[in-house]
Chains A and B, each alone.
Chain A
């Protein structure tokens, strides 16, 4: 048992549901007790999703405990099959069903014999993997299922011919992902600039029937380390497809990523269209003139950031990229870089080696909080949790990674990847630091306004007495509205020509004034 208030990565089934509901026309059925379908609320609220989330629960209740859930699960699958005609139904186990140890695979087999949809059981162990690992696995599972099905239908292993012009699959765009929609748009733009065709984007907006086209692409691109690597490795193993897994976040990393793509393309280019590609001029032009970040790091603004101390914490992709941007592109001193992805700690340590003073790998937010309190950075780049730690310690924080709140699902265009992403990040960094500086200066010079506000009440000569009870009642009211309520009550009392305010008067005032 572990005492916990907050967790960075969610439970496994959330990962599976994120994959399933990112695809078009895929329905997930959770084997779960009442109330576990909280995922639907998150998707509907955070993503402001217009469509009903394609996730339903096959409810585990007392009856199920007594008799097993076999009939119920099979019925629910059959029913959903009729109602919505999905291409695929993913039966999703939860922590509860893991303990029940029912043979869910058997239910899936039974249900799939007479359903129009394909039915699979998500292969995740709730107690061994977290949200991100589960998403990675489920995505690979679905891709493998459809490719194997395709091969089986053709009776022999046939390799798809590659497309005429260089093409790519983007693997790992998700619902509820941190700025994923904006990143996806930015990446598509990047590929268009480079003359690379986007073959398939999975899972977001993808269609399972199109998965068979995956091998047509020249290479795969995995923008985020947490989810998609397993799929890319599977495709490399089975179809010999190379993949690029360098996240194009920051000017240097974006260039690196583009050079890796160039290598992938030049692997096949001579054979297919007899030309080699050279992206160096593109990288040079973008770096110097499209992205403002390279110029920014030269400018006087950024000079002032030199040697400022920062802390970075987040998922491996964003925390590693951010650490490198701060250290090598802006001259900021990263005193501590950390991640909550404990399963991928080695990769993270290797990435940030040489770019930070210390590394912290933990999923305990109190440890992160203690570290921040100890090193007292000038700014924090982390998740929502770090933002709140920053609030408490009065240190500005830029949010760079999930878990996030609704304000990290902006309506405006805010990619973190690609050349536009570098501009966004420069703004984020600069705003975090200058705001901190501004506050500091204000404090030194004694605040904006040196004149003290004497009173905020309408009348300064209050002739009204508040009895003890009403005063206690007044104190129960949250501070930010207390003044208003006090004023309104006194106004009411004056109208009624009462000179002693009691609790009754307070309530009467509320009733009268809200009317």
Chain B
């Protein structure tokens, strides 16, 4: 491996932005499953519908709680009244599914024709008596997982207000409880916490199992998680407000973080993300430090997890990775893989919020120093064509890439892992570290089993023509 780390500080490059990623409306796929009483209405064209239909495959057939409000020529040329049209569809949804919230997903088309979704929502909400949350998850502004960010940022406005005053808990608190019990909030009284710790709300959508694993991890340090944004149901959104600490669990949630800080006056804990045992430990430690708690047994716990990963670490050690970049998890994953002993050539990433990811970037830098490897180049808004040229030079052992490039790269002898799997797999916390490596090593293990067959390059060249 390379012995002398080259540059001391991280460098960021920015390319043309001609890269492949999923449209941010794909967030409905996991959010409708997470928020059980929601209905997602994507206001867009056939193009959006076709994408969802193909990207979500079999989910379509399971009577999903999402649909397209497909815009027709009359909607575009304003011959039809947007408000009346949306009202008609929302009433139908109310009748058929009776959700607790309807989320309108604005798309490129609604942006361009300047459809005033934010303006119409409150009126319609009052009229049909169902909360309507508006999120502009469009491809003009965002990439893939940032769709979740826009939805959660919009939801953050709907969280019930947290009343900080601990000392008034006696009379005022009870009165409040009486008042609020009619409202669909669940955990508005956090006063019965373990050590009178300030309330902590975690944000980011995770499968409920992973969410409880992370909560448990904090409970071991006697930190109580008072709520999650989003919760399992819309009616269970956590209360936020002054005095509430918030912490993100995914690197793509910068708008949500900003909204919680600026609009809801919460205090943001800037920590690395709990991906990989190193990230999870740093995440727990950071939260502990904020609450003035000395973490217990974390070091052993991390060591134990690393020990259990030994067989996979043997496979990945010394191998090189190239992230083409499409889901914003890249920095955290790269940091974990470097700690695993891999060499990262390039971290492509759609968008880099250096403030929100500051702690993660610092950990990346530290990890590179500890492992004595050069800092990888971080390429924002990458250009896939140039990346493929660079890959041709570097010949990485593994490319983490979108499906559009995976098969062509495999045919050229470069092993690939489909990046979207990292978005859907369970990768957070100590418990799931193995799942990340399971994904990363899969192409490498496949290579081991096919090694002796000699079929690596499977693209036709001139000499092959004669046999066709």
Contact with B along A48-63 (1 / 0, CB 8 A): 1111110011111110
User: Any chain A CB within 8 A of the CB of B53?
Assistant: yes
Task: Enumerate chain B residues within 8 angstroms of A35, measured Cβ to Cβ.
Answer: 21-25, 51, 139, 143-144
CB of B76 within 8 A of CB of A5, answer no
Q: Is B113 an interface residue (CB 8 A)?
A: yes
By a CB distance below 8 angstroms, the chain A residues around B55 are 38, 41
A45 to chain B: which residues have CB within 8 Å? 403, 407
Contacting A at CB under 8 A, from B123-148, are 138-144
B405 touches A507 (CB 8 A): no
B109 & A42 in contact (Cβ 8 Å cutoff)? no
Contact at B47–A95, with CB atoms within 8 Å? yes
Which residue in chain B gives the minimum CB-CB distance to A56? B18
The answer for the CA separation of A62 and B140 in the assembled complex, in Å, is 6
A449 at the interface (CB under 8 A from B): no
Contact residues in B for A476 (Cβ distance below 8 Å): 208-209
Chain B count of residues within 8 A CB distance of the other chain: 74
Contacts of A3 in B (CB 8 A): 67-70, 89, 92-93
Encode contact with A along B90-102: 1 for CB under 8 Å, 0 otherwise. Answer: 0011000000000
Contact A1 B20, beta carbon cutoff 8 Å = no
The one of A60, A76, A507 in contact with B108, judged by C-beta atoms closer than 8 angstroms, is: A60
What is the CA–CA distance of A3 and B67 in the complex, to the nearest angstrom?
7
* A99 on interface, CB distance cutoff 8 Å: yes
CB-contact partner of B23 in A34, A40, A52, under 8 A: A34
Closest chain A CB from B116 CB (angstroms): 15
**Chain B residues, Cβ within 8 Å of A36:** 23, 47, 51, 139
The B-contacting residues of A in range 432-459, CB under 8 angstroms, are none
Chain B 33-46 near chain A by CB (<8 Å), digits 1 or 0? 00000000001011
Residues of B within 8 A of A99 (CB): 76, 109, 112-113
Contact of B49 with A52 in the complex, beta carbons under 8 Å: no
Q: Contact between A1 and B23 (Cβ–Cβ < 8 Å)?
A: no
Q: Is B170 an interface residue (CB 8 A)?
A: no
Which residues from chain B contact A503 at a C-beta distance below 8 Å?
Answer: 212, 216
Residues of A with C-beta under 8 A to B143: 34-35
In the complex, residue of chain B having the shortest beta-carbon distance to the beta carbon of A98:
B76
Q: Which B residues are CB-close (under 8 A) to A42?
A: 54
Mark each residue of chain B from 192 to 218: 1 if its CB lies under 8 Å from any CB of chain A, else 0: 000000000000000011001100100
Answer yes or no: B154 CB below 8 A from chain A CBs: no
Other-chain contact of A96, B109, B209, B403 (Cβ < 8 Å): B109
Collect the chain B residues with CB atoms within 8 Å of residue A515's CB: 308-309, 434
Most A Cβ at <10 Å: residue of B23, B46, B111: B46
Distance (Å) between the CB of B24 and the closest chain A CB? 7
Chain A residue contacts of B388, Cβ below 8 A: 52
- For A76, the chain B residues whose CB sits under 8 A away are 18
Determine how close the nearest CB of chain A comes to the CB of B368; give it in whole angstroms.
27
What is the chain B residue whose CB lies nearest that of A43?
A: B404
Check B261 for interface membership: any CB of A closer than 8 A.
no
A44 contacts B70, C-beta separation under 8 Å: no
**Which residues 377-431 of A sit at the B interface, judged by CB distance below 8 A?**
385, 388, 391, 405
Whether, in the assembled complex, B305 has its beta carbon less than 8 Å from a beta carbon of chain A, the answer is: yes
Annotate A1-13 by CB proximity to B: 1 below 8 A, 0 otherwise. 1111111001101
Does A85 sit at the interface, judged by CB under 8 A? no
B60 adjacent to chain A (CB < 8 Å) = yes
Query: Quick check: B112 and A7 within 8 Å, CB to CB?
Result: no
Q: Is B5 an interface residue (CB 8 A)?
A: no
Q: In the complex, what residues of A have CB within 8 A of residue B142's CB?
A: 34
Partner of A48, one of B17, B76, B402, B407: B407
Contact between chains at A61 and B50 (CB < 8 Å) = no
Whether the Cβ atoms of B20 and A37 lie closer than 8 Å is yes
Task: State whether the Cβ of A465 lies closer than 8 Å to any Cβ in chain B.
Answer: no
Nearest CB of chain A from residue B28's CB, rounded to whole Å: 12
The answer to whether A44 and B404 have CB atoms under 8 Å apart is: yes
Assess whether B455 is interfacial by the CB under 8 Å rule. no
A40 cross-chain contacts in B, Cβ below 8 A: 20, 404
Contact B108 A33 (CB under 8 A): yes
Within 8 Å by CB of B406, from A5, A44, A127, A504, lies: A44
- Nearest-neighbour CB distance to chain B for A261, whole angstroms, equals 27
Question: When the two chains form their complex, are residues A511 and B430 in contact, meaning their CB atoms are under 8 A apart?
Answer: yes
Could you tell me if A44 and B112 are in contact, using CB atoms closer than 8 angstroms?
no
Closest-CB distance, A405 to chain B (whole angstroms): 7
Of A51, A57, A62, A95, the residue contacting B109 (CB under 8 A) is A95
Q: A35-B143, A514-B434 are in contact. List 4 more A-B contacts (CB 8 A).
A: A5-B67, A51-B408, A99-B109, A127-B76
Interface residues of B (CB under 8 A from A): 17-18, 20-25, 43, 45-47, 49-51, 53-55, 57, 60-61, 64, 66-73, 75-76, 80, 85-86, 88-89, 92-93, 108-109, 111-113, 138-144, 208-209, 212-213, 216, 305, 308-309, 385, 388, 402-408, 411, 430-431, 434, 458-459
> Can you report 15 residue pairs joining A to B where beta carbons are below 8 Å apart?
A1-B43, A5-B67, A5-B68, A6-B53, A35-B22, A35-B51, A38-B22, A38-B51, A42-B54, A49-B407, A51-B408, A99-B109, A99-B113, A511-B305, A511-B430
Q: A residues near B, CB below 8 A?
A: 1-7, 10-11, 13-14, 32-38, 40-42, 44-45, 48-53, 56-62, 65, 76, 83, 94-96, 99-100, 126-128, 130, 385, 388, 391, 405, 473, 476-477, 503-504, 507, 510-512, 514-515
